[in-house]
A and B are shown apart, each in its own frame.
Chain A
Amino acid sequence: MSAAITLDHITKTYNKGATMAVDDISFAVEKGELFGLIGPDGAGKTTIFRLLTTLLLPDKGTGTVVGNDIVKDYHKIRGIVGYMPGRFSLYQDLTVEENLKFFATVFGTTIEENYDQIKDIYGMLEPFKNRRAGKLSGGMKQKLALCCALIHKPEVLFLDEPTTGVDVVSRKEFWEMLKRLKAQGITIMVSTSYMDEATLCDRIALMIEGKILSMDTPANVIKAYPEKLYAIKSSNMHGLLKDVRANEDILTCYAAGEYIHLSLKHEGKESEAQLLNFLQERGDTDLIFKETIPTVEDCFIRLLGNKDGNKEGNRN
């Protein structure tokens, strides 16, 4: 039993089938893995979390968490998983310490008993232990929520968008903490809509509209990007984007930070030169054109484009 989490053809709809949230998804997460669900809002990430933490029942399919069925053995699962919902949901009118104590007791344990599990994180919170949870800063709230999810030494940790709305430094700190937890052998499933965090996971699943488009290690996902990806920039980015789009040889193009990322239908020096000529003729100046390594975001956008393309195709 090496898989910590399995999903087998899980389907979940809302509003009596009118809204498809999770569409026939199957995958497995190995024990001790840091697994990332990457996708935009509404992709179905939270639904997967709620199904696996036994808050929702699937319409179809089965799933297990550490060998326990998510429907039949829900009570066992609740004892061995830690869940941190996307929204801060601890008692705001209780202090840091009272919250932690409360969640320790409902799991039938005490802070002292499992102190080593949380000491790294709780150490940062301890100066504020008599402060009401509602009065903490965003980053502190996340740390407290993580502490409360960890207090009973869970085997699997579910973190739903833990870094949304948290500053860059706290986000980095948070991922450091996750790495340490992973080192202790805890299986972690985390969702995020920040693509830069995806590379910090062992494996990622790119999700959209309730389907998984691609699932692999971040490096393999990037490697699988089939075309050469170029980055281009000029003094007039708005004009440049329009001009690039006007070129017939362009396969995809979109703004990505200070550059425009694009790929060509025909690869090779010739096409590259042709494109540059085309742009210069149109009056784009100060052009910087180079090949670039795709990021997870590029992969995601490409998959998204394919999906929309397929849809279009189906309709015709």
Chain B
Amino acid sequence: MRTLKFLLQKEFRQIFRNKNILRMMFMTPIIQLIILPQAANYTIRNINIAVVDLDRSTYSQKFVNKVLSSGYFKLAAFSQSYDKAYQLIESDKADIIIEIPQGFESKLNTEQSQTVSLSVDAINGVKAAVGSGYLTNIIQDFNGQIRLDWMQPSKMSPMPTIDVESSNWYNPNLSYYLFMVPGILVLLVTLIGGNMTSQNIVIEKEKGTIEQINVTPVKKYLFILGKLIPFWVLGVIVFTLGLVIAWAVYGIIPLGSIALLYLFVSVYLIAIMGFGLLISTYSETPMQANSLTFFFMQIFNMMGGLYTPIDSMPGWAKVITEVIPISYFIQVMRMIVIKGSHFHDILPHILIVLLMGIVLNTWAVLNYRKTT
């Protein structure tokens, strides 16, 4: 125990002397949590549209006004012809062309139907899908209005219709921040726990100091504990800092128990630090450790369920998400923060992550023995 105390003392002394670690610990969460959720927003705005109005009637005017007043679209230009509008798409000034054919109004009157053409630049798939979705909605709405205007109330036979009204539970305003901020905090804790642990040990390897330690009577498990405990503490501090930022900047207050959040973070850090330890046993230089970590972090980022829902992934991808610890943390974060889940709801998650922690750490310690 006395040895562990001195190992910890040494470790903390080195950490607090390393300005880069401190900077990364405090600046990264602040910058990432404040900037990322505001910049990387799902709500798509400022879609540029080019309008080709060949009809120039009251109705076509009404229609265009309705589109522009929705707030999602910006008028790039009124074009004389489709070809001219197409040039705008080619020069990237417009994303969508709306073409209103000649005789829009008169045909609506006579034939009771009309077509409007939408051409969407689909290079950015999300923007295209969302933009055309908005437009379709607007057109339907416009359609409904026309019917109301034209149909004689007396002639109108009562038509049975089903109106779907949905209400959003847990996140009634569909706040993007409420969804994203806890997720980004998970990434941060993962980065601190996983990357810093592996870096720290590999640096000792590279400098040869680990060899000097190995010839002392210090037991391996004490040495490893001396490495893990400081970063466990740092991880919890960063997590706390993140919660404070989420509350101060976005007004997010976890609906569920904060103690439960900390319980999960504690277990999660053990697993992710085991992962960092494992990487360090397989690398000789910080460069190698970094490359390995980068590779896995990309997978964690993309497959952890932060940006895209796991449920919509193909079956084989779901299997991968089941073995990466970060997906459980993101789920639990959202469950506790947004939904206010209780201990028994997240117990399976805790147990699985605990199991991962045991497996990763055992693997790492065994591999560490073998190489020295």
Contact = CB atoms under 8 A, between A and B. Distances in A.
B27 interface: no
A83 B217 CA distance: 12
A79 B14 contact: no
Given A91-B10, A102-B6, A107 B216 contact: yes
A55 B208 CA distance: 12
A67 B74 CA distance: 87
A85 B211 contact: yes
Contact of B18 (A54, A93, A103, A106): A93
Contact of A93 (B2, B14, B213, B215): B14
Interface centre among A81, A88, A106 (most CB of B within 10 A): A106
Nearest to A49: B215
B45 to A, nearest CB: 49
Interface residues of A, number: 25
A81 B217 CA distance: 10
A90 B212 contact: yes
Nearest to A76: B217
Contacts of B17: 93-94
Interface in A2-52: none
A54 B216 contact: no
B208 A94 contact: no
Contacts of A55: 211, 214-215, 372
A contact face: mostly helix, strand, loop, or mixed: loop
A307 interface: no
A88 to B, nearest CB: 8
Interface string B206-240: 01110111111110000000000000000000000
A129 interface: no
B112 interface: no
A78 interface: yes
B87 interface: no
A53 B217 contact: no
B208 A85 contact: yes
Interface of A: 53-55, 75, 78-79, 81, 83, 85, 87-94, 98, 102-103, 105-108, 148
5 contacts: A54-B215, A85-B212, A105-B3, A106-B218, A108-B3
